[in-house]
Amino acid sequence: MIGITAVMTATPGQGDQLVAAMQKIAAEVVKEEGNHCYLVHQSLDDADTLLIYEQYSDEAALQAHREHMKELGGGLKGLLAGRPDVKLFALKD
């Protein structure tokens, strides 16, 4: 199992719009084979900061997701203040 965290910073004042866009993306991502979750969190301290938590069965599912995101994430450019800080994790039993 592969877990991913992505911290995203919205353009100032655009946090709620970024949440809405990410929720639309999440609705599609959870349909992907091998996806176990795609959860959108908004910071309680800073509405322009989001945390996305994702889980995939394996590397193949993650690669398929990355290809899918190329078409899904195109509308985010005006909403993001910079590149997301993405970290990958392996589930340890």
Q: Model confidence over 18-37: pLDDT tens digits?
A: 999 999 999 999 999 999 99
- Of the candidates 53, 61, 74, the one whose C-alpha atom is nearest the C-alpha of residue 4 is 53
pTM, rounded to two decimals = 0.92
Q: What is the pLDDT of residue 72?
A: 87
Structure tokens belonging to residue 25: 């993306």
Using a 10 angstrom Cβ sphere, with 0-12 exposed, 13-18 middle and 19 or more buried, the burial of residue 83 is: exposed
